[in-house]
Amino acid sequence: MARQLTVVAPAGTGAGARAYPWYMLALFVVANSFNTIDRVAMNLLIEPIRREFGFGDLQVGVIAGFGFAAFHALFGIPIARRADRGNRRNLLGLGVLLWSGMTVLTGRAGSFLSMLAIRVGVGVGEATCYPTAVPMIGDVFGKSQRSAALAIFQTGAFIGVVGGSAVVGLIAASHGWRAVFTALGMPGLVLALLIVLTVREPPRGAASDAADATLASGSYRQAWTLLRSNRRFGLLFVAVALMWTGASALIIWGPPFLMRLHGVGAREVGTVVGPITGGAGLIGTLVGGALSARLVKRSGDPRAPLRLVTLGALLATPATLVFVFSSSLAVALAGGAVAVFFNGIACGPILAAAIVLVPSDQRGLASSLIVVFAQQLLGLGISPLIVGLASDAGAASLGDQSLRWAMLIPCVALAGGWIAARAAARDTGLIEKAHA
């Protein structure tokens, strides 16, 4: 008999009420894909943008990584606390409106500073996505299948990579890079209206266990103290930060790497390379979510998702080394696709592990700490900056090869992520026992 996904339906009966959770999840998947498409465009177009403005690799790292991620993180915790206390639907709608408008303005940038200011606005808007959508999914879908629902949500990122890459490549080839951002930003304005007008705010903790209800809500300081004192969550945070240091460097510096060292054109990167790696990540995320749900159901062990995280970090490391050091374009692409696949394996399990370690009214904060700080600030923000610095430092003596050697940094980070994830999978914490 096929397994049924446990959901908490909204008020009402009939097919509409049963279908509503899927409708909400579908809208959130689209929001997550739009949340990713803008970053995909920046990554794929950074070389023509760099050439037009005369940017160095350090400036590339600031615009594509740190400048975006720093403000994404700076506003992430206040937004998460607002999401934990206020109306998450309206907050998400406002965020989609902001980041979509700023995406349109990216095509109007005329200097490094104006580009940086616009990217900051995009980062603030996109900081609303996970702290609002993840807890709402957790409130609608039951615990036994929450990993699968969150993995479906995570597929939005890779749908954005696959679909966005092709769109970016085609539009950029015929109309230039500025037209790309206008075309990508406009649909988000419609999505913001759909979210505000058609999504209902679910009751908090509707799909949680009794253990969730017994953990009282606290202040911002108390919530932060709770998360810091949870050893298993701390190890998970470190593992995610290191893993995303490697993954983000591959995503952001992968297109310039292929253009400089393998002679790939911007159109080919968008229409061929992007869909290959994005498809690998999409499959990896779906496989990871399905395996996580199956392992938890069969074993009853909440550490099962972390074992998938450990496996993903372990196998992504050698695959990234193949991408960096292979002289063959085909082999390099295969290595990059395998690395993205195993990073995708970890996506659903990471969020599922994080939100069951905290009370239901602090899931926004927990998901924000993982996504905004570990993935975005430390992974997406710091990693491209360090790689850019290392590449600029060696450019005088190594030329384009300096980027190849700078890409050793994410390989080392992935290995460190495996060590931290392995420790987290072996550890047991008080919050874990409360939710067991």
pLDDT (mean) for 148-163: 80
Between 29 and 164, the more confident residue is 29
7 SS3 class: strand
**What pLDDT is attached to residue 61?**
82
**What pLDDT is attached to residue 363?**
65
**What pLDDT is attached to residue 9?**
46
**Does the pLDDT of residue 68 top 90, yes or no?**
no
- Convert the pLDDT of each residue in 250-279 to its tens digit: 878 888 888 888 888 777 777 777 777 778
Q: Distance from first CA to last CA of the chain, Å, rounded?
A: 26
Q: What's the pLDDT band for 321 if we cut at 50, 70, 90?
A: very high
Confirm if 235 and 400 have CB atoms less than 8 A apart.
no
What CA–CA distance (Å, rounded) separates 339 from 355?
26
Q: CA separation (Å) from 326 to 22, 258, 276, 323, 331?
A: 43, 11, 17, 6, 6
**What pLDDT is attached to residue 434?**
38
**What pLDDT is attached to residue 4?**
45
Between 366 and 291, the more confident residue is 291
What CA–CA distance (Å, rounded) separates 294 from 255?
35
**What pLDDT is attached to residue 144?**
64
Q: What's the pLDDT band for 190 if we cut at 50, 70, 90?
A: very high
141 SS3 class: strand
Q: What's the pLDDT band for 226 if we cut at 50, 70, 90?
A: low
Residue from 386, 186, 175, 341 nearest 266 by CA: 175
Between 230 and 227, the more confident residue is 230
Residue from 199, 187, 193, 180 nearest 101 by CA: 187
As beta bridge partners, residue 141 has 7
Q: CA separation (Å) from 102 to 108, 115, 348, 407?
A: 10, 10, 28, 30
What CA–CA distance (Å, rounded) separates 344 from 329?
22
**What pLDDT is attached to residue 303?**
64
**Does the pLDDT of residue 216 top 50, yes or no?**
no
**Does the pLDDT of residue 204 top 60, yes or no?**
yes
pLDDT (mean) for 45-73: 83
Rg over CA atoms, the chain = 21
**What pLDDT is attached to residue 100?**
94
What CA–CA distance (Å, rounded) separates 135 from 83?
9
Beta-carbon count within 10 A of 211 CB: 15
pLDDT (mean) for 109-135: 89
**What pLDDT is attached to residue 17?**
61
Q: What's the pLDDT band for 184 if we cut at 50, 70, 90?
A: very high
**What pLDDT is attached to residue 436?**
42
87 SS3 class: coil
Q: What's the pLDDT band for 89 if we cut at 50, 70, 90?
A: very high
Confirm if 384 and 248 have CB atoms less than 8 A apart.
yes
Mean pLDDT of the chain: 79
- Convert the pLDDT of each residue in 136-146 to its tens digit: 888 887 766 67
What CA–CA distance (Å, rounded) separates 99 from 105?
10
Confirm if 80 and 367 have CB atoms less than 8 A apart.
yes
Residue from 356, 34, 69 nearest 209 by CA: 356
CA 76 from centre of chain = 14
What CA–CA distance (Å, rounded) separates 84 from 19?
25
**Does the pLDDT of residue 30 top 90, yes or no?**
yes
pLDDT (mean) for 63-91: 82
Confirm if 371 and 381 have CB atoms less than 8 A apart.
no
Encoding tokens for residue 300? 């009853």
Percentage of the residues of the chain whose pLDDT score is greater than 90: 18
pLDDT (mean) for 294-308: 73
Could you please report the per-residue DSSP string of 23-75? HHHHHHHHHHHHHHHHHHHHHHHHHHHHHHHT--HHHHHIIIIIHHHHHHHHT
Q: What's the pLDDT band for 1 if we cut at 50, 70, 90?
A: very low
- Convert the pLDDT of each residue in 164-181 to its tens digit: 877 888 888 888 899 999
As beta bridge partners, residue 7 has 141
Residue from 305, 286, 404, 382 nearest 62 by CA: 382
Place of tokens 């060292």: 261
Q: What's the pLDDT band for 318 if we cut at 50, 70, 90?
A: very high
pTM above 0.75, yes or no: no
| Most confident region among 17-26, 33-42, 105-114, 360-369 by mean pLDDT | 105-114
What CA–CA distance (Å, rounded) separates 432 from 235?
13
